[in-house]
Amino acid sequence: MTAATSPRFVTLEGLEGAGKSTAMAFVRDWFEARGETVLCTREPGGTPLAEELRAVLKAVREEPVAASTELLLMFAARAQHVERVIRPALAAGKVVVCDRFTDSTRAYQGAGRGLSMATIDQLAEVAHAGCDPGLTLWLDVPVALGLERAASREAADRFEQETLDFFERVRDGFEALSEREPARFRRVDATRALDEVRAQIETELEAAHGG
């Protein structure tokens, strides 16, 4: 794990429906109230090319997608996003808040699909050396609650069609990350009411950045 993290680069992680997109507004509000310019973005995606790769990754298709193909497409999208959007924004003094990043790859393609964490860390080095989040908020919910929240939206994509076992492994993957990097990777109890989720996120931001 590279030590080159930026405290001005914050990521949101968690299962589908956990509340990542909802929480992004809480993080943005907190920084904006302190006079910061905030760039909110998401993965896979965040540039026109990377959004095309997102559509490729999410499409339900007859051809089985090899786990290694999925992994490389994720990192291809990420490399483009980091070079074109995230690095320039950080260099311009903005705060960057990203909905999913490499921890999702560790949880989904690593813990979920069984790909090697060492390989993922090597690809992270290729795609975004020296550009790692300084704070990651893990919106944690039981699998069933996340899927229930996500189900109220459009038709299930290729990931949302996965088995409950798969999502349990993904959640275990996030748990392992919180044990491996407890200072950066912070668990937020996302089963609670939204005002309580906001309060916990603000506490984490204050601890990381000073009130």
Ligand X SMILES: Nc1ncnc2c1ncn2[C@@H]1O[C@H](COP(=O)(O)OP(=O)(O)OP(=O)(O)O)[C@@H](O)[C@H]1O
Numbered residues of the known binding site for ATP: 14-21
Binding mask 20-49 for ligand X (x = CB under 6 A): xxx---------------------------
Between CA 201 and CA 52, with CA 19 as vertex, the angle to 5 degrees is: 120
Under rule CB under 6 A, residue 161 binds ligand X:
no
Q: Say whether residue 151 binds Mg ion (CB under 5 A).
A: no
Residue 132 partner contact from ligand X, Mg ion, none using kind-dependent CB cut-offs of 5 to 8 Å? none
Nearer to Mg ion, 21 or 68 (CB): 21
Q: How far is the CB of 24 from ligand X (least distance, A)?
A: 8
* Residue 169 region by backbone torsions, left for phi larger than 0, else alpha for psi between -120 and 50, else beta: alpha
Distance between CA atoms of 94 and 36, rounded to whole angstroms? 7
CA–CA dist 197, 26 (Å, integer): 9
Helix 48-58 with 67-81: angle, nearest 10 deg: 160
- 177 lies in the site for ligand X, by CB under 6 A: no
Choose the stretch contacting ligand X; rule: CB under 6 A; options: 75-83, 124-132, 147-155, 176-184.
Answer: 147-155
DSSP letter, residue 45? -
Nearest to 11 by CA among 84, 102, 107: 102
Residues lying near Mg ion in the complex (CB under 5 A): 20-21
Residues lying near ligand X in the complex (CB under 6 A): 14, 16-22, 149-150, 152, 190, 192-194, 197
